[in-house]
Amino acid sequence: MPIVNKNSEFTYKRLEEAIYKISKKYPFTDLFSLGKSVLAKNLFCIKVGNGKTRIFLNGAHHGLEWITSLFLTAFTEDICDCYCKNKSVEGTSISELLKKVTFYICPMVNPDGVNLAICGLTPDIPQKICQKLIIYNKNSCDFKGKWQANIRGIDLNHNYNAGFWEGKQKEKELNIHMPGPTRFSGMFPESEPEVQAIVKFTKMLKPDIAIAYHTQGEEIYYDYQALASKEAKKIGEKMARLSGYTLSAPEGIASFSGYKDWVISALKTPAYTIEAGKGKNPLPLCEFNSIYDKNRRMLVKLFTDC
Ligand SMILES: [Zn+2]
């Protein structure tokens, strides 16, 4: 029986249970926390592999996009299992792959937002925060299936220090002036503890490639203000070929203050946003297998020549 159940919504509690079991069952992994969310949940990260190419994968910057956390956790278990059993995936030996590559996987960057999007207001959220959230949600107590931001109404993927103030201007043009379910970037860059933790870890790790998983459109974004290198574009083309997704350049508000924008501009490192799946957020679980197959193939075959 696999540890990760792919048939129900993936809350923080389910992530916590699964990731502890995976780390116990596969002692060659290393489980740690990158920091805490506003409500003190762990930003778990698990290391798998011994290779010198460091790949940082993260999911669910956005609450509604918890299916990316489920994908990354199931992928972790899968490659650990294949490593133990000396199995191949898509013709690639996982033990050979893990000699070349080390994956650092943070499945849920925004655990408070994921829980709010799945469970709504729960007793563990302090009353003061609940009251603010209702105001940010246009006086509605219905958060299920709506919430992308963190528990303070800040959109974490607009809170990075990359074109933050230009993004802020665009935000105002779109009439977004206060915290809410989506798109409010905060009062200043890196104001949120989740973003601070991801920035600190990325700087320390100095990954060769960083990938942030989102959902919507089966696209891969690889550039920020034409700063991506030729090599980064080439990697993006290979990712697109392997997954069947489209390689794209972002436009408008989506092109500011995101994680990949910051990695590309501040660290001069290839970074990607992968929009896995298609449909209305939250993507239904019936989309999971398609997301899983395409992205697993892409991740195990991307590094076969590196
Ligand atoms: Zn997203």
pLDDT tens digits for range 43-101: 999 999 999 999 999 999 999 999 999 999 999 999 999 999 999 999 999 999 999 99
Q: What is the pLDDT of residue 296?
A: 97
- List, for residues 107-159, the tens digit of each pLDDT value: 999 999 999 999 999 999 999 999 999 999 999 999 988 899 999 999 999 99
Q: What is the pLDDT of residue 253?
A: 58
User: How many angstroms separate the alpha carbon of residue 206 from the centre of ligand 1?
Assistant: 23
- Contact assessment for residue 51 and residue 208, using Cβ atoms and an 8 Å cutoff: no
Cis peptide before 284 (omega within 30 of 0): no
CATH 3.40.630.10 assigned to 21-306: yes
Asked if residue 250 has pLDDT above 90, the reply is: no
CA distances from 119 to 115, 116, 143, 147, 284 (A): 6, 5, 8, 11, 16
- In this prediction the pTM is 0.97
Q: What is the pLDDT of residue 252?
A: 59
Using the Cα atoms of residue 204, residue 210, residue 212 and residue 213 in order, give the sign of their dihedral.
negative
Pairing type for strands 88-89 and 92-93 reads antiparallel
* Residues having C-beta closer than 5 Å to ion ligand 1: 62, 65, 214
Q: What is the pLDDT of residue 146?
A: 87
Asked if residue 306 has pLDDT above 50, the reply is: no
User: How many angstroms separate the alpha carbon of residue 204 from the centre of ligand 1?
Assistant: 24
What is the rounded distance in angstroms from the CA atom of residue 246 to the CA atom of residue 244? 7
* pLDDT band at residue 35 using 50, 70 and 90 as cut-offs: very high
Q: What is the pLDDT of residue 281?
A: 85
User: How many angstroms separate the alpha carbon of residue 288 from the centre of ligand 1?
Assistant: 16
What is the rounded distance in angstroms from the CA atom of residue 57 to the CA atom of residue 276? 13
User: How many angstroms separate the alpha carbon of residue 37 from the centre of ligand 1?
Assistant: 17
Q: What beta strand segments (E) does 94-197 contain?
A: 101-106
Pairing type for strands 88-89 and 209-215 reads unpaired
CA distances from 107 to 137, 226, 292 (A): 26, 28, 14
User: How many angstroms separate the alpha carbon of residue 148 from the centre of ligand 1?
Assistant: 7
Residues 223-239 have a mean pLDDT of 96
Q: Where are the domains of the chain?
A: 21-306
User: How many angstroms separate the alpha carbon of residue 279 from the centre of ligand 1?
Assistant: 13
What is the rounded distance in angstroms from the CA atom of residue 215 to the CA atom of residue 288? 11
Rounded CA Rg of the chain: 18
User: How many angstroms separate the alpha carbon of residue 254 from the centre of ligand 1?
Assistant: 10
Mean pLDDT in the chain? 95
What is the rounded distance in angstroms from the CA atom of residue 178 to the CA atom of residue 35? 26
Asked if residue 261 has pLDDT above 50, the reply is: yes
Residues 247-271 have a mean pLDDT of 88
Determine whether 196 is exposed, middle or buried from the number of CB atoms within 10 Å of its CB (0-12, 13-18, 19+).
middle
